[in-house]
Structure 1
Amino acid sequence: MNCTYTYPTGYQIMRVFWSKTKVINNVEPPDLSEDPEYSQRLQYLGDKQQICTMRLSHVTLKDSHMYYFRFITDKLDGKWTGDPGVNLTVSDLQVESPERVTEGDSVRLTCKSSCTLTDRATFIWYRNSQPLTERRDRNNELLLQSVRREDAGRYSCAVHGHNHISPAVQINVTYPPRNVSVLITGSGEIVSGDSVTLICSSDSNPPAEINWFKENESSAVGSGQSFSALQSGRFYCQAHNQHGSQRSDAVTVTVHHGAGRNVIVIAATSGGLFIIIIIIIIFIIKKKIINRRSAIHECENDDPKTGTYAALDLKSRSSDLYDTLTTVHPRPDVHQPDSSEYENLSPHSRTPR
């Protein structure tokens, strides 16, 4: 702001400063150089004789105001303020956008300036501080057709050839729930009285409200993001907001009551139920094999003092081979012959040689 001033001969300048107000009720106006909002941006380029030029840097819209130069001399009546002052008008770029944007809408953004632009002025658009396109458009409007959720962000504009970029405006795209699904947490084997926790997840804006249902029942059995299933059945969640709703696939919760307090809970989606059945069959077969091996092991470890023994007799009948497993118990008070006194032991008794 270029400025000059004069004063009567014989006066000596004691103080010079710029202010945004005049003297009111004999109260001196504040010095802008002592104002925290201006102290780092205001620079006085004048002197105490005739020049009163001031420079203001990093100007914003808030700096639009009337500014006054004031000087004080060594005389009681030697105080003056420039009148009418300097009116500073700051022009700026602003992005105008609708307050609410829903997925699928067509949105028009307008880059407006408070100053007069030439017909050759071209505009550059930014989203999240990144140029949207390399091209420059003479039209000061940006049209977003069939808005998607990915179009959400901070939009700003600029005039080509100028360093200034407009303040950014936030585009918030709202949409109905999508990708609604149920997650199962907790162990597959629990103690009686516990429960399986089901968690509903969804993608929506604004966040969706969650209700839980059991198939073939019309009323909700719960609400909120998580639900504790205490009984068998097929459960699903439904997410909804003001733009729509969507339900998840149902999950199956089967509670099998076993001995004592143990309860085995199988929870799976309909697609994964077949895999669980295969795992159960394999488990049963494996358990039978273990039990059979255990029985054979107990037979091999029979106490020899009982006098019980097993012998294998191979005989040929009609050209067929067969095995005979015979258990023989010793007779009381009978001499036990040496094994060499016998040939083969069969179901028929033989006389020793």
Structure 2
Amino acid sequence: MNSRSAARGFLAFLLSLPALQGEVGYAVGCTSKTVCALKESTVDIICTYNFPKKDKELNVTQLWHKGKKHKAVSLTKDADYEGRVEYSCGEISCIENSCNGTCALKIKNLTQSDSAEYMFSFIINRKSGKFSGDPGVKLSVTDQVMVSFASSTDPTRANMTCHNVPKTPSVTVSPSGEIVNGSSVTLSCSSDANPAADYTWFKEHEDSVGRSGQNYTITNITSELGGNYCCQAHNAIGRHNSTCFYIHVTETSSLTSFIVRIVVVSILVLATILLVFLFHRTTRASREASGLGEAAEMVGEVEGEVRDRNADF
């Protein structure tokens, strides 16, 4: 039997430490944080739960759902899981003052869209009687799984590792603001992939920029180097291209242009003030000079009259 066939019947059952849910005596212990499974296979995820014996006579309801507990909708009522989901919950047993139970979720004919976080909740028929395992169990569904056996004497227990076609990579740029001619810019590419992806950079309408690696730095950038840059994430399973990121290179920064404009305006204002000051000063000097001339003429006239009178005598 090959590893793919063996993996189809794999049962995910690795219990984590119980998670306390706000009140003493109430707890949920779910499977390991991540579970790996093949497409079209079946997976079982198991949780245990505890509550005080005093609540045993109350109605206890078990519930499996996707996502966080405030969006708890039973998978049995989700059209995407119709005919593919089963709950298998055992009898509740009590010892001294504590009761516990086990509940398994079975999902058949897995698809990649089933990859999600699954949570178990149990509801007690009283106020504030809802308790959930948080965080839940993250299920990864893939078409590539590596199976290894922990012991040659126990072929029923296997370790599974998911291998994925890289997800669509994303591109970020630093600095995030405007890019000025002569500055440096770094592009970063990231993708969720197993095995880890390698990255190749290229410019739109060009085969490649001749660089590989998760980060691509352009030093002393020019306007000719602007344009759409993309990255490709690839591993042994497949490859995926990112959406291209457009780099616009400006000759000067807007801050520099703003400062230049402020300086020019300031010089013009100061020049205008100086011209007005000089104009008023010149005008006042002219008026003062004119006044002195008139006074001199009056003095001359008076002196003439005095001379004339003296001559009469």
TM-score w.r.t. structure 2 length?
0.41
Q: Which has the higher contact order (CA 8 A, sep 6+)?
A: 2
TM-score w.r.t. structure 1 length?
0.37
